Amino acid sequence: MGEESSAGHQRRLQVLRAIVEDYVATEEPVGSKALVERHGLGVSPATVRNDMAALEEEGYIHQPHTSAGRVPTDKGYRLFVDKLATLKPMSSAERRAISTLLDGAVDLDDVVQRSVRLLSQLTRQVAIVQYPTLSRSTVRHIELVPLTATRLMLILILSSGRVEQRLVEVDSSLGEADVSELRLRINQHAAGVQIASAAAALTELPDAVRPELGGLTREVVSVLTEAMSDHRNDERVAVSGAANLARYGDFDTAVRPLLEALEEHVVLLKLLGESGADAVTVRIGHEGPYSELAATSVVATGYGPLENHFGSLGVVGPTRMDYPGSMAAVRAVARYVSRILDEGHQ
Amino acid sequence: MGEESSAGHQRRLQVLRAIVEDYVATEEPVGSKALVERHGLGVSPATVRNDMAALEEEGYIHQPHTSAGRVPTDKGYRLFVDKLATLKPMSSAERRAISTLLDGAVDLDDVVQRSVRLLSQLTRQVAIVQYPTLSRSTVRHIELVPLTATRLMLILILSSGRVEQRLVEVDSSLGEADVSELRLRINQHAAGVQIASAAAALTELPDAVRPELGGLTREVVSVLTEAMSDHRNDERVAVSGAANLARYGDFDTAVRPLLEALEEHVVLLKLLGESGADAVTVRIGHEGPYSELAATSVVATGYGPLENHFGSLGVVGPTRMDYPGSMAAVRAVARYVSRILDEGHQ
DNA sequence: GCTTGGCACTCCGCCCGGCGGAGTGCCAGT
DNA sequence: ACTGGCACTCCGCCGGGCGGAGTGCCAAGC
C-alpha cells in the first residue's frame, strides 16, 4: 500500500478492518453489501467494491472464486494487527476472574495449570503455558534429606518456585553431622546464584571440604549439577482448550494439523518462540516455522522478570481468530502470572 | 441368545466375531458376502444371512437401513469382549519399547507422562493416566526445611513417589534444635503410616510435645493434615493422543463430545472409574456414566499394589475400537508401571 | 475526481431425478 | 440344515437446472 494517506486511503483501511472483523465473526467470505450494512461506513457498496479491488490488488484480501466475497490474506491479518487493531480491554468481570482464580493457586504446578485453563476459557482457543525453564532461575535453597542409612534425597528449590528432587545412593553410612555440614556448604556456594553459575561453583566444592567428606560431596554435587543442567523439563508445557478446536470448520486444514502438533511439546515450544516479556508477539499463518501449520496463528508473550523471563505462554488457533481479544487476554494473564511468581515465593 | 450350544449356534458367534473385527477394521457396515470371503467360514453368504437375521433379532447387531450391511450394537461388543475376544499378545518389539521407555523415567511425574504417551502410541487411541492418589499412599518421610527465620518448608514424601510441599509462616523465630526435635517426633508418628491414619495421629502431637514447642507444632501439624486431606491433586490426570481422534469419521457424535470431555479431568476420572488392579475393565457406550458419551468406550485398569492401588489408567475411544489390542496394551502398561513404582522407590 | 446506481455476468450451492451397486429376505431345491 | 436364485430396497453418485449472492464495469451525478 502506497505512502499517501488521503481520505480514500483511510477508508480502505477501514474496509480492511471491517472485512477482518466480519470474517472472524461469521467465518464466511464477506461481500460489499453486508459490509456497509453492518458497519457504519457512510458510502455505497459500489465504492466499497472499488476499495476491495484495490486491496486485493495489493494482496491484503483474496477472493476464493469469482463472485464470492473476500477473505483476508495473512498479509491482511498482519496489517490488521500492526495498524488497525486496538486491544480489547478486559472487562472488570474478567479481571476479577483472573485474580480470584490465580490467587487460589497453592504451588507452581497449580499456577501453570490454572493459567492455561484460564487462558483457554478467556480466549476460547487452545492455550499453551510453558513451565518455567531451569536455566533462567536462581537457586533459592538446596536441601539434603537422609531417607535411610545409605540413601539421600536432594531437593532443589528455585526462584521460579520450581522444585526438583533427586535420589542419591551413597556407599558409606551417613552421619547426621556430615549431612548438616554438607548442606551448609552447598547452600553457601549455591543459594541465590543463577543456576548455571551455581553448577560451576559446586564443582569446586569437593576439593574444599574436609577430606572425609570428599567422596560424599562428590556424589551429591555430581547429581546436583546433573539436575541443574537437565533440560528435559525445560520442554514441559501445559495445554488446555483443545475442545475449542471443534468450533472451527475446516477440519483437515486447520484442526487436524493443530491437534497433531499439540501432542508434540517440542513443536509447541518452537511455536511459542522467543517472545519478550514486555510485548505480545503475533505470528500469522505462514510466518510460523511449520508449513503444515500455515493455517494457524500464535499469540504469545513471555512471563516472569522482565530482563530474564522464565518462559512463554500464549494461544494458538486458526489464522481466522480474534486477535485483539487474544492479545489482551494473553497480556493480562502473563502479567498476573509474573506478579504471582514474583511475590508468592519471595 | 439361548443356552443351546449346537453347531449352528457356534457359527453364529463366529459370525458376530467376524462382524466386529471387520467393522472395526473398515469402519463400514459389513455384508454377508464380504464376510465369507475375508474369513474362512465354510458356508455360503445365504447361510450367513440367516445367522445375521438371528443375531439382529437378539439385538447383537443392527442394520442402519434396509439393504445395508450390519453393525455391532453395544450389546454385540459386550458379548464380543466377554466371550469372543482373545487378548492380542504384545509383540516382543512392543515389550521392549515399553521397558526401555519407562525405565528411563527419573521421577513420578516422568513415569506418568511417559506411560500416558506410550499407551496412546501403542493403542493409537486417547490414553489417560491418573496420578497416584494421596489417600491410598503411606507416608515415607516428612521433612522440615527452615528457609528464613520465620518461614518453614514442609516436604511430604509418599510411598507412591509423590512429593508435596507447603510453606508455613511462624510467629516466633525458629531454632535449629527445635526444628530437629519436631522433625523427629513428626516422623515417629507418621512415617510408614497410611495417610489417613497419619493425619489422625498427627493431630494429637501438639499436646505431647514440650509446651514451648506447642505453638509451632500446632501450626505445622495443621498445614500437614491439610495437605494430607487435600484431594485437589487426586483429580489430576495426564492425557495423550487426542490427535488419534482425527482418524475417526463421525465428528459430531464420536469426536467432539470426547474432545470436550478430555478437558474435564473430573469427567475423565469418573470414566476411568474404580477398576481393580487385577483385571481390565471395559465399559462400552451407554454402559458408561455419561449419556453424551454414548458413542465412546473405555478400557481401564488400576495400577499399584494389588490390594490397595494408587490409581487407574486406560484408553478411551469410539465404541468401534480394537478391544483385544487395547486391553492387552492397557494391561501391559499397568503392570509395568506398578513394577516401576514398587521397585523404584522402595 | 471521487462516488453512485444500474446492469449484465459469473459461479456456487442446492435440489431433483435417474442410475448402478451392494446387500438383503425369501423361497424352492438339494 | 444349507444353498443358489431372484426380486426388491435403498444408498451414493452424477449431471443438469435454478436461484441467489456477489462482482466488475460503465455512465451519470455531486
Chain C bases under 7 Å from protein CB?
2-6, 9-12, 21-27
In this complex, is the C-beta atom of B170 within 8 Å of any C-beta atom belonging to chain A? no
Q: Collect all residues of chain B within an 8 Å Cβ-Cβ radius of residue A245.
A: 259
Could you tell me the three cell numbers for B66? 434396509
Q: Which of residues 148-207 of A touch strand D (CB under 7 A)?
A: none
pLDDT at B346: 41
Beta pairing class for A126-130 and A237-240? antiparallel
pLDDT at B108: 83
Put simply, the answer to whether B165 touches A260 (Cβ < 8 Å) is no
Put simply, the answer to whether A165 touches B163 (Cβ < 8 Å) is yes
Element holding B16 (H helix, E strand): helix B7-26
In this complex, is the C-beta atom of B149 within 8 Å of any C-beta atom belonging to chain A? no
Rounded distance between C-alpha atoms, residue A14 and residue A3, angstroms = 16
Cβ contact A244 with chain C strand, < 7 A? no
In this complex, is the C-beta atom of B43 within 8 Å of any C-beta atom belonging to chain A? no
Q: Collect all residues of chain B within an 8 Å Cβ-Cβ radius of residue A246.
A: 251, 255-256, 259-260
DSSP string of B147-202, one letter each residue: EETTEEEEEEEETTS-EEEEEEE-SSPPPHHHHHHHHHHHHHHHTTSBHHHHHHHH
Cβ contact A64 with chain D strand, < 7 A? no
Query: What's the CA angle centered on A316, arms A312 and A318, to 5 degrees?
Result: 160
- Average pLDDT in chain A: 88
Any idea which of A171-175, A219-223, A225-229 has the lowest mean pLDDT?
Answer: A171-175
- A41/C4 CA-to-C1' distance in Å: 14
Rounded distance between C-alpha atoms, residue B327 and residue B229, angstroms = 33
Are the C-beta atoms of residues B268 and B311 closer than 8 Å to each other?
no
Among the listed residues B212, B5, B233, the one whose alpha carbon sits nearest the alpha carbon of residue B109: B233
Q: How far is residue A308 from each of residues A136, A269, A312, B162, measured CA to CA in Å?
A: 7, 17, 12, 31
Backbone dihedral region for residue A201 (phi beyond 0: left; psi -120 to 50: alpha; all else: beta): alpha
Q: Which of residues 66-105 of B touch strand D (CB under 7 A)?
A: 66-68
CB atoms within 10 A of CB A152: 21
CB atoms within 10 A of CB A42: 8
- B2/C28 CA-to-C1' distance in Å: 29
Could you tell me the three cell numbers for B324? 483385544
Rounded distance between C-alpha atoms, residue B161 and residue B159, angstroms = 5
Cβ contact A65 with chain C strand, < 7 A? yes
Rounded distance between C-alpha atoms, residue A185 and residue A173, angstroms = 20
Per-residue pLDDT of B99-114, as tens digits, reads 999 988 877 888 999 9
- Average pLDDT in chain B: 87
Q: How far is residue B330 from each of residues B115, B138, B270, B322, measured CA to CA in Å?
A: 10, 26, 17, 12
Interface test with A, best of B126, B147, B158, B187 (most A CBs within 10 A): B147
- 3-class SS at A165? strand
pLDDT value at B1 more than 50: no
Question: Which amino acid would we find at residue B293?
Answer: L
Alpha helices in A127-253 (DSSP H): 176-190, 195-203, 205-208, 214-228
Report the protein residue whose CA lies nearest the C1' of nucleotide C9.
Answer: A67
Are the C-beta atoms of residues B345 and B101 closer than 8 Å to each other?
no
In this complex, is the C-beta atom of A240 within 8 Å of any C-beta atom belonging to chain B? yes
Rounded distance between C-alpha atoms, residue A299 and residue A291, angstroms = 17
Q: Which residue of A has its CA nearest to B246?
A: A256
Which residues pair with residue B145 across a beta bridge?
B153
| Nucleotide minimizing C1' to CA distance for residue B45 | D3
pLDDT value at B273 more than 60: yes
- 3-class SS at B289? coil
pLDDT value at A333 more than 80: yes
* Extended strands (E) in A27-138: 61-62, 71-72, 126-130
Highest-confidence segment of A116-130, A248-262, B3-17, B275-289:
A116-130
In this complex, is the C-beta atom of B254 within 8 Å of any C-beta atom belonging to chain A? no
pLDDT at B127: 97
pLDDT at B74: 96
What is the mean predicted confidence (pLDDT) over B261-285? 88
Per-residue pLDDT of A51-81, as tens digits, reads 999 999 999 999 999 889 999 999 999 999 9
Place of cell 450367513: B48
- Residues with Cβ < 8 Å from B124, sequence gap 6 or more? B241, B244, B247
Q: How far is residue B150 from each of residues B94, B147, B205, B208, measured CA to CA in Å?
A: 53, 8, 21, 23
In this complex, is the C-beta atom of B184 within 8 Å of any C-beta atom belonging to chain A? no
pLDDT at B233: 67
Q: Which residue of A has its CA nearest to B163?
A: A165
Residue contacts between A and B (CB atoms, under 8 Å) = 68
